[in-house]
Amino acid sequence: MSGGLAQGEALLYCPGKLVVPDGTVEDSAAEKLNFLACVDALHKKVSARGEAARAAGETLQAEILDAHLEILEDTDSVIDPILAAIESEKKNAALAVQEVFDGIAAAFEALDDAYLRERGADMRDLKIQLLREVMGVQDAAPVRMDTPAVLVARDLTPSETAGLDSNCVLGILCEDGGRTSHTAVLANEMGIPAVMGCKGALQAAASARFVQLDGSSGYACFDPDEASIAAFAQKAARSARDDCEAYRHARTRTADGREKLLYANVASAEECRSACQNGCEGVGLFRSEFLFYQSGEQLPTEEAQYRVYAEAVRNMQGRPIIIRTFDAGGDKKIPALKLEADENPFLGYRAIRICLRERTLFKTQLRALLRAGREGTLRIMFPMIATAAELREAKEVFHEARGELLRENIPIAEHVELGIMIEVPSAVMMSDLLAREVDFFSIGTNDLTQYTLAADRGNKRVANLYSHYDPAVIRMIAHTIESAHKAGIPCGMCGEAAGDASYVPLLLGLGLDEFSVTSRAIPALRAAMARLREETCRELAARVLRLATREEVASVLTGTGED
Ligand code: PEP
Ligand code: MG
C-alpha cells in the first residue's frame, strides 16, 4: 500500500484490451526472427527509460526497469519457451508471448510469498509491452486527467503508474495487486495514497461519484455522506500537519531527487533564529530597510548596522544569508531620509536609486555588511536594478568600501557574493548580460508584477490586473531563469509568488533553484515539493507558457479558475 488519505471524484480507468490473434504461421523461422527483433527493440526502450530514470535520481523506478530487462534477457524461462512454441507448434509470436508470460505470471501468483506473488504483475506489465511490439500497436498513452480525482482501476502496471501526474491523481484504488506490488511501491514514492486488492471497486465506481480511501489501513468508501466527508477532510489535514513536521529539517528534494533550496524572508536578526527553527536552508531576503524604522529620525550608524548584521549571520549557524541593501522609497516611507514626496512613488526615487545618489549612506551599509560577513556566509543583493550602469555603479561603491576597510586594517569577509533582484522589466530584458556580472539573481515578483502590468501593487482599483498568474509575468520569470542558467548562476525568487503552493509546480518546471518564503510555510512547501516530479512540472510549465490569460493559467494551476 501507499499510505495517506485521499478523497475526491472517482475516475474509472479502463484501458482498451489487446486482442491477441490465435492463428498459426507458415514461416516459423521468419516469425522467430521477427520476435527476436521485437525483444531487442523493447530491450533498447526499457534500458533507455532506465537510464533516464537513473539520471533523474528515480532509483526505485530504475531498479524496476532493471528487473524488466532481466526478464527480457532470461533465455531459459522466457525467450526459449517462446521460440519453441513458434517453432514446434507454429504459434504466432503474439500468442506464444501471451501464453508463456501468462504461465510464468500464474506460477508467481500461486506462490505463498507475498513479495514473489506480486512479481506476477511485472510479468503482465512486460507482456503487454512485448505484445505491443510484436503486434505493432502504439505504446499506451499515459493516463491524462484534467482535474484532480481518485483513479479507480482493475490494476495499473508499474509503467502506467510511473506515467501518472502526481499533481492530478489524488489517490489510486485497484481491484487487483497488493501491498508489495511495484504499482503500490511506486505510488508510495510519488506520494500518492493507494489501496490495492479492493474487490468490487470497479463495479462500485461505475455507479458512484465520490470515493475516499486510506492507504495505510486499506479502507475505501464510495459516496460517503457529508458528515463523513468533513470528518475525513479534518483527519487528512491533521495527517498533512504530521507529514509537514517530518519535513521541517529535511533537505529540499523533489520526488525525482532534484535538490532545491527553501530559504526564508526575514526582517530582523531575531527572525533568522525562528527561520532556522522552521527548517530554512538559508535566508533569501533580509529586508535591511527595517533598520531605518527602528532608528527613528536618525540614520543607523555603521556600528549599529554591523551589530545587527553580525548577529543575523551568527543566528544562521552556518547557513547562507542574503542581505538586501536598503530598499527605501516607494511604499516604504522612512522619516530619517526626509524624502520629498514623489508624484509616482513606485516609479520614482527608491531603493538603489537613492543609494547611488546618497553614496555615504550606501557605503556605510556596505562597510557594515563586509565586516559582518566574517561571521558566516553573507551575500549582498541590490534591489530595483533597472540598468547595467546602475549595477556597475553599485559594485564600484562596494569595491570602494572594501578598499577603505582593507586600508584601515579592519577585518572583513574574504569573499562576498553579489546578486541583484530582478523586479523591473528592463532587468528581465537585459538579464542575459546582467547575469554575467553577478553571482546570483533573485526574482522579486511583488514589484515585477506591478511593473510588468503597470498596476500599482497597493491600488485596489487595479487589483484585477495585479497577479503573478498573468502570462506576461510568467514569461518574465521564465526568461530570467533561462538567462541565469545560461550564464551558470543560480536563480531564486523572494517575492510572494515563491510561497504560493499552486504556483510552486510551475516554478519547479521553469527550473527555479531557490524559493525564499515566509518561514512558517517552509515545512509544508518542502513536503509538497517532495511529492512533485520535476519532469512532470516541466511539462506543466511548457503548457502554461502557451496560455494567453491569467484565468487560463489559474485554471491549470489550481484546477478552479481562481487565484
Ligand atoms: C519583491 O518586490 O518581490 C520583493 C521581494 O521586494 P519587496 O516586496 O520588499 O519590494
Ligand atoms: Mg521589491
Please indicate, yes or no, if residue 232 is contained in any of the structural domains.
no
What CATH number does the domain containing 53 carry?
1.10.274.10
pLDDT at 562: 41
Tell me if residue 467 falls in helix, strand or coil: coil
The sign one gets for the Cα dihedral 495, 497, 500, 504 is negative
Q: Which of 289, 381, 494 to mutate to test the pocket of ligand 1 (most atoms within 8 A of CB)?
A: 494
Q: What was the pLDDT predicted at 139?
A: 63
Ligand 1 atom closest to Cα of residue 448: 2
183: domain CATH number is 3.50.30.10
For range 505-523, the mean pLDDT: 96
Distance from residue 319's CA to the centre of ligand 2 (Å): 23
User: How would residue 543 be classed by pLDDT, with cut points 50, 70 and 90?
Assistant: very high
User: Which residues contact residue 117 at a Cβ distance below 8 angstroms, ignoring those fewer than 6 apart?
Assistant: 108, 109, 110, 111, 178
Judge if 150 and 271 occupy the same domain: no
End-to-end CA distance of the chain: 34
Is 203 within the bounds of a domain? Answer: yes
pLDDT per position as a tens digit, 58-89: 667 778 888 889 999 999 999 999 999 999 99
The amino acid at 222: F
Query: What spacing in Å lies between the alpha carbon of 449 and ligand 2's midpoint?
Result: 10
* 248 found inside a domain: no
For residue 331, report the distance from its CA to the centre of ligand 1, in Å.
11
Residue 369's domain comprises 253-557
Number of helices and strands (H, E) in the chain? 23, 14
- Contact present, 194 and 187 (Cβ < 8 Å): yes
Classify the phi-psi angles of 87: left when phi > 0, otherwise alpha if psi is within -120 to 50, otherwise beta: alpha
Give the mean model confidence (pLDDT) for residues 30-50: 89
* Cβ-contact 442, 498 below 8 angstroms: no
Predicted pLDDT of residue 122: 80
Looking at residues 435-454, what average pLDDT do you find?
97
Helices (H), 74-92: 80-89
Q: How far is CA 468 from CA 445, 475, 498, in A?
A: 7, 10, 10
What is the predicted pLDDT for the residue at 492?
98
Contacts made by residues 169-173, CB under 8 angstroms, sequence distance 24+: 169/143, 169/145, 170/6, 170/7, 170/8, 171/4, 171/6, 171/7, 171/8, 171/195, 171/211, 171/213, 171/215, 172/2, 173/10, 173/198, 173/201, 173/205, 173/211, 173/213, 173/220
Confidence of residue 559 (pLDDT cuts 50, 70, 90): low
- With a 6 Å cutoff on the Cβ, whether 282 touches ligand 1 is no
The number of the ligand 1 atom at minimal distance from the alpha carbon of 285 is 5
Per-residue pLDDT tens over the stretch 172-194: 998 887 766 778 777 876 778 89
pLDDT for residue 10 is more than 70 = yes
Looking at the chain, the whole-number percentage of residues with pLDDT higher than 90 is: 59
Report whether 547 contacts 475 (CB < 8 A): no
Q: Which three cell numbers stand for residue 352?
A: 538603489
Q: Could you tell me if 450 and 505 lie in one domain?
A: yes
Closest CA to 251 of 530, 13, 531, 3: 530
Distance, in Å, from the CA atom of 496 to the CA atom of 494, rounded to the nearest integer, reads: 7
423 and 528 both lie in a single domain? yes
Mean pLDDT computed over 277-302: 90
Residue 234 located in a structural domain: no
pLDDT at 239: 77
- Dihedral of the CA atoms 276, 278, 284, 290 (nearest 10)? -80
Residue 369: pLDDT above 60? Answer: yes
Q: Are residues 215 and 265 in the same domain?
A: no
Domain boundary among 102, 135, 168: 135
Active site residues: 182, 494
Structural domain total, the chain: 3
